[in-house]
């Protein structure tokens, strides 16, 4: 169960979800015709210790990511969002944006693997131990950021704008924001505060990209918590806030931004990917949308 001021590192609680999605990206990127490839995901997973390397080597058949239903569906989910948000940053920088903020960056390695125009500054916000694991792992592997990357160790439920400004963020400069895999780990109220803060720090011309997971219906909760071999679904469910919450695209539209939303499965279909075998109401991918908003 979550509590108000709870904390974690890369192997515990919410921090471990960063490793889980990195593992899904590593496995998914091996598929022929993969929509997106994140070669650094495997570097993190191998550095993660425990059973992570065995999962990548196909030796953990009971792991949720190895399951033909949920595992395949979740891998496709990660590929879709990786491509969608990679393309988002390419478009945002092509439109002239030079200030980037990745909220709950986890093991997002875009600072290390995408090309960025000279002069772009990228702020990564997450818990200190998560950012530290990322920096140390990639440094030991010989990877360097391809952008002016600034770590901002914070709790996104607390006063993070002060820390962001202290690291050189300029609210008068248009920003490209990203919240991928974050909202469900915040309460509905904390999500509203996050959106209000993004809005208050966004100069005209700013962009925001958000992954939204709708509230899981009872059948999805049952599928998650009961059908899992090793209880990983129940463990994940204990980390999220499955409460009704503000619709992202509607919130941004109501605050004067133009917002575009696409269902994740529609996005996969539009990119010629195979249909999922998981009921759309029983797994996160069927309940996920990808949203991009632009402030005129």
* Contacts with ligand SAM, residue ranges (CB under 6 A): 14-15, 17-18, 21, 104-108, 126-127, 130, 155-157, 180-182, 185
CB of 64 to ligand SAM, least distance (A): 14
Q: Identify which of residues 155 and 192 has a Cβ nearer to ligand SAM in the complex.
A: 155
CB of 172 to ligand SAM, least distance (A): 25
Distances 214 to 112, 244, 273, 284 between C-alpha atoms, Å:
31, 8, 22, 8
Q: Identify which of residues 3 and 200 has a Cβ nearer to ligand SAM in the complex.
A: 3
* CB-based contact 88:178 (threshold 8 Å): yes
CB of 158 to ligand SAM, least distance (A): 8
User: Whose CB is nearest to ligand SAM?
Assistant: 106
Rounded to whole angstroms, how far apart are CA atoms 264 and 255? 24
Q: Identify which of residues 156 and 259 has a Cβ nearer to ligand SAM in the complex.
A: 156
CB of 100 to ligand SAM, least distance (A): 13
Q: Identify which of residues 104 and 147 has a Cβ nearer to ligand SAM in the complex.
A: 104
Q: Identify which of residues 71 and 205 has a Cβ nearer to ligand SAM in the complex.
A: 71
Q: Identify which of residues 143 and 155 has a Cβ nearer to ligand SAM in the complex.
A: 155
Q: Rg of the chain's alpha carbons, rounded to an integer?
A: 18
Rounded to whole angstroms, how far apart are CA atoms 274 and 267? 11
Dig out the tokens for 6 from the structure: 């709870």
Count CB neighbours of 157 within 10 A: 16
CB of 104 to ligand SAM, least distance (A): 3
DSSP reduced 3-state for 98: coil
Residue 130, judged by CB atoms within 10 A of its CB (0-12, 13-18, 19+), counts as: buried
Dig out the tokens for 186 from the structure: 């915040």
CB of 256 to ligand SAM, least distance (A): 26
* Selection from 132, 121, 122, 125 nearest residue 153 by Cα: 125
Q: Identify which of residues 156 and 223 has a Cβ nearer to ligand SAM in the complex.
A: 156
CB of 123 to ligand SAM, least distance (A): 13
DSSP reduced 3-state for 134: helix
* CB-based contact 233:239 (threshold 8 Å): no
Q: Identify which of residues 178 and 223 has a Cβ nearer to ligand SAM in the complex.
A: 178
CB of 70 to ligand SAM, least distance (A): 16
Residue 221, judged by CB atoms within 10 A of its CB (0-12, 13-18, 19+), counts as: middle
* CB-based contact 22:82 (threshold 8 Å): no
- Angle in degrees, CA 35, 83, 296, rounded to 5: 150
Q: Which residue carries 């390419």 as its tokens?
A: 90
* Selection from 135, 106, 125 nearest residue 163 by Cα: 125
């Amino acid at each position: 169960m979550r509590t108000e001021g709870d904390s974690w590192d890369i192997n515990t609680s919410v921090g471990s979800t960063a490793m889980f999605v990195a593992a899904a990206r590593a496995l998914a990127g091996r598929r022929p015709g993969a929509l997106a490839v994140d070669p650094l995901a495997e570097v993190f997973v191998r550095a993660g210790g425990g059973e992570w390397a065995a999962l990548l080597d196909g030796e953990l058949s009971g792991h949720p990511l190895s399951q033909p239903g949920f595992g395949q569906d979740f891998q496709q989910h990660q590929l879709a969002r990786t491509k969608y948000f990679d393309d988002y940053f390419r478009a945002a920088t092509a439109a002239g944006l030079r200030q980037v903020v990745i909220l709950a960056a986890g093991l997002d390695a875009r600072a290390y693997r995408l090309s960025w125009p000279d002069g772009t500054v990228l702020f990564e916000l997450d818990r200190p131990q998560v950012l530290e694991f990322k920096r140390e792992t990639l440094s030991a592997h010989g990877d360097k950021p391809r952008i002016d990357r600034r770590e901002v160790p914070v709790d996104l439920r607390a006063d993070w704008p002060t820390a962001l400004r202290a690291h050189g963020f300029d609210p008068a400069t248009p920003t490209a924001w990203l919240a991928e895999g974050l909202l469900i780990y915040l309460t509905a109220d904390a999500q509203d505060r996050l959106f209000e803060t993004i809005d208050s720090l966004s100069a005209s011309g700013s962009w925001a990209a958000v992954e939204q997971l709708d509230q899981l219906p009872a059948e999805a909760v049952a599928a998650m918590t009961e059908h899992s071999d090793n209880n990983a679904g129940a463990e994940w469910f204990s980390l999220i806030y499955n409460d009704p919450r503000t619709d992202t695209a509607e919130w941004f539209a109501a605050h004067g931004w133009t917002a575009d939303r696409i269902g994740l499965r529609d996005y996969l279909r539009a990119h010629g990917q195979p249909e999922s075998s998981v009921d759309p109401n029983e797994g996160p991918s069927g309940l996920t949308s990808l949203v991009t908003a632009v402030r005129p």
